[in-house]
A and B are shown apart, each in its own frame.
Chain A
Amino acid sequence: MTNPRRVYLDHSATTPVDSRVVEAMLPYLTEKFGNASSVHLFGQEARAAVDRARRDVAALIGSRANELVFVSGGTEANNLAIQGVSESAASHGRHIITSTIEHPSVRGICDALEKKGWDITRLPVYEDGVVRVGDLENALRPDTVLVTVMLANNEIGTIQPIEEIGRVVKEARASGRRHLRFHTDAVQAAGRIPIDVEKLGVDLLSLSAHKLYAPKGTGALFVRSGTRLTPQNIGGHQERERRAGTESVPAIVAFGTAAKLAAAEMSERSHHDASLRDLFETRIAASIDNIVWNGSRTARLPHLSNISFRFIEGEGLLINLDMHGIAVSTGSACSSGTLEPSPVILALGRNMEVARGSIRFSFGKDNTEEDVERVLGVLSQAVERLRQLSPLNKPLQTAIAD
């Protein structure tokens, strides 16, 4: 099968590295190769670049530069935040509040803590894929030491009421729960919507570089001054003793450059992504029946669309698109005869069949209207082909008509 043009609609998985970012990082792979901890000129050159990048990333989220810890990515940022706080606060309580739609890294850390005897409350989301602040208020206990709720979801893009949760946490702290901390995973949101850690009222915030047109392997954790955190990497003085290990200077420089570009171009990029996404959705609604929109279509990131195609399974659709050079993703997976449909889609109250038929389309700054048209053509045919094959739609469609 020939591929006239590859179309990448999986920007929530990762993004291509911006050429300006590549250009900025290249010298740090060649002549400016120093270790940022070295005293000599080579080291100082690298240190200055890391400091510059730290200021640029800080500016993207409205923090102070010295409140950022560079780490290897979003997963490590989440580990450092949640494990770091839980270890340092364990003597004050062993209760954490999170949500049912967190990224697998946050979910995995909370599950692991639960096995060690911690109490975990998982706030539900409703059909719109958004947590309710009232549920959080009801879940708070005297022994709660951490609230961790993502800023925007990675599968359906829904934006959570972080600012409101921040206010509740602040009030709780003022009324005696002084060890309570608030973390948000902003990996999907950063660079796509404005973020201000002061306005959000968070103590910790996770970032990943490769979601904003920088290379994989770098991220950052915002740690508000005064927040106690047990380091998870020890054996070095880097990152003010909060994360031992030689800094990846080229990747950090790339992250800083990408953050600066994201801040400068955010409104242009958001508008671009949203207009393509909206065109795509309008056209799909007009051309493919029996679809289900997953999550709120208003309180969500501008670049993302999650749709379930009834009667068929997501991975088969993904392969059909992939064979035409079109990249998307699905949250469902089935292995060894056990079904693992997306927990996020199930949390919306959808049944197994709808959860298995979900596909995430995530747009980026280099996509074009031509891409949208091409995907629509291939997608309608693939959906039609799989539905003709499906034993589900014949009786089900009758049942619906009844």
Chain B
Amino acid sequence: MAYSLTLKDHIANPRNAGELADGNAIGEGTNPVCGDRLKLFLRIADGRVTATRFLAYGCPPTIACGSALTELINGKSVDELRTISRKDLVDAVGGLPARKQHAAALAIETLQRAIALSFG
């Protein structure tokens, strides 16, 4: 399985890893088939993301997508968050093998769940 250097870098140096004690939008996603898990923490103030953290368990693309997603959403408005696509995330990790596309899907679903839970 060939992974991009960007993806590998997210594995070796995950961005914004951990939990956010004062997060006000939290999403959790699980792939029921393979058991991959992603937990996303956002702090949103005045309609914008001011801090993000993530926890992930699973194959490298799942971890990399969680890490890259936190970079992608930082500073964005809630409306902008709703427009982030799977493709944006796949591009942000330098591409994903065809068999690993589900990792990006899980991350986007987790983000949408976090927004829906807090902002409807």
Which A residues fall within an 8 A CB radius of B? 1, 311-313, 315-316, 319-320, 322-323, 333-339, 352-353, 356, 385-386, 388-392
**Binary CB contact string for chain B from 18 to 53 against chain A (1 if under 8 A, 0 otherwise):** 100000000010010111111100000000000000
B81 to chain A: which residues have CB within 8 Å? Answer: none
Instruction: Select one of A337, A352, A390 contacting B102, CB under 8 A.
Output: A337
Q: A334-B58, A389-B55, A390-B55 are in contact. Are A320 and B35 (CB under 8 A)?
A: no
- Which residues in chain B, 79-120, are within 8 Å of chain A measured between CB atoms? 99-102
Contact assessment for B33 and A313 in the assembled complex, using a CB-CB cutoff below 8 Å: no
What 3 pairs across the A-B complex have the smallest Cβ distances? A339-B34, A337-B102, A335-B99
Q: A313-B59, A335-B100 are in contact. Are A319 and B33 (CB under 8 A)?
A: no
Contact assessment for A338 and B60 in the assembled complex, using a CB-CB cutoff below 8 Å: no
B34 to chain A: which residues have CB within 8 Å? Answer: 334, 337-339
Q: How many A-B residue pairs have CB under 8 A?
A: 73
Q: A312-B57, A323-B12 are in contact. Are A392 and B63 (CB under 8 A)?
A: no
Which B residues fall within an 8 A CB radius of A? 1, 3, 8, 11-12, 14, 17-18, 28, 31, 33-39, 54-60, 63, 99-102
Contact assessment for B39 and A391 in the assembled complex, using a CB-CB cutoff below 8 Å: yes
Contact assessment for A388 and B18 in the assembled complex, using a CB-CB cutoff below 8 Å: yes
B interface SS class? mixed
Q: How far is the CA of A316 from the CA of B28 in the complex (A)?
A: 20
Q: How far is the CA of A390 from the CA of B17 in the complex (A)?
A: 9
B100 to chain A: which residues have CB within 8 Å? Answer: 335
CB<8 Å pairs between A and B, sample of 22: A313-B57, A315-B59, A316-B11, A316-B60, A319-B3, A319-B8, A320-B12, A323-B8, A323-B11, A323-B12, A333-B59, A336-B101, A337-B31, A339-B34, A385-B14, A386-B63, A388-B17, A388-B18, A389-B56, A389-B63, A391-B57, A392-B57
A386 to chain B: which residues have CB within 8 Å? Answer: 63
Instruction: Select one of A1, A336, A353 contacting B35, CB under 8 A.
Output: A353
Q: How far is the CA of A187 from the CA of B34 in the complex (A)?
A: 31
Instruction: Select one of A1, A319, A323, A391 contacting B56, CB under 8 A.
Output: A391
Find the residue from B12, B55, B100 having the highest chain A CB count within 10 A.
B12
Q: A313-B58, A336-B99, A389-B56 are in contact. Are A320 and B31 (CB under 8 A)?
A: no
Instruction: Select one of A315, A353, A385 contacting B60, CB under 8 A.
Output: A315
For the complex formed, measure the closest distance between the CB of A244 and the CB atoms of chain B, giving whole angstroms: 36
Which A-chain residue is minimally distant from B18 (CB atoms)?
A: A388
Which B-chain residue is minimally distant from A319 (CB atoms)?
A: B11
A337 to chain B: which residues have CB within 8 Å? Answer: 31, 33-34, 102
Q: How far is the CA of A336 from the CA of B96 in the complex (A)?
A: 11
Find the residue from B8, B34, B37 having the highest chain A CB count within 10 A.
B34
Which B-chain residue is minimally distant from A391 (CB atoms)?
A: B55
Find the residue from A320, A386, A391 having the highest chain B CB count within 10 A.
A391
B12 to chain A: which residues have CB within 8 Å? Answer: 1, 319-320, 323
Which A-chain residue is minimally distant from B30 (CB atoms)?
A: A391
B37 to chain A: which residues have CB within 8 Å? Answer: 391-392
Q: How far is the CA of A312 from the CA of B55 in the complex (A)?
A: 11
A312 to chain B: which residues have CB within 8 Å? Answer: 57
Contact assessment for B102 and A389 in the assembled complex, using a CB-CB cutoff below 8 Å: no
A353 to chain B: which residues have CB within 8 Å? Answer: 35
Contact assessment for B33 and A339 in the assembled complex, using a CB-CB cutoff below 8 Å: yes
For the complex formed, measure the closest distance between the CB of B36 and the CB atoms of chain A, giving whole angstroms: 7
For the complex formed, measure the closest distance between the CB of A395 and the CB atoms of chain B, giving whole angstroms: 11
For the complex formed, measure the closest distance between the CB of B12 and the CB atoms of chain A, giving whole angstroms: 5
Q: How far is the CA of A181 from the CA of B104 in the complex (A)?
A: 50
Find the residue from B33, B56, B59 having the highest chain A CB count within 10 A.
B59
For the complex formed, measure the closest distance between the CB of B95 and the CB atoms of chain A, giving whole angstroms: 15
Which A-chain residue is minimally distant from B5 (CB atoms)?
A: A323
A323 to chain B: which residues have CB within 8 Å? Answer: 8, 11-12
B33 to chain A: which residues have CB within 8 Å? Answer: 337-339
Which A-chain residue is minimally distant from B14 (CB atoms)?
A: A389
A352 to chain B: which residues have CB within 8 Å? Answer: 35
Contact assessment for B36 and A334 in the assembled complex, using a CB-CB cutoff below 8 Å: yes
Contact assessment for B56 and A356 in the assembled complex, using a CB-CB cutoff below 8 Å: no
For the complex formed, measure the closest distance between the CB of A380 and the CB atoms of chain B, giving whole angstroms: 15
A391 to chain B: which residues have CB within 8 Å? Answer: 28, 37-39, 55-57
B54 to chain A: which residues have CB within 8 Å? Answer: 389
Q: How far is the CA of A339 from the CA of B99 in the complex (A)?
A: 11
Known: A312-B57, A339-B33. 14 other contacts (CB 8 A): A316-B11, A316-B60, A319-B8, A323-B12, A335-B100, A336-B102, A337-B102, A339-B35, A356-B35, A388-B17, A389-B17, A389-B56, A389-B63, A391-B57
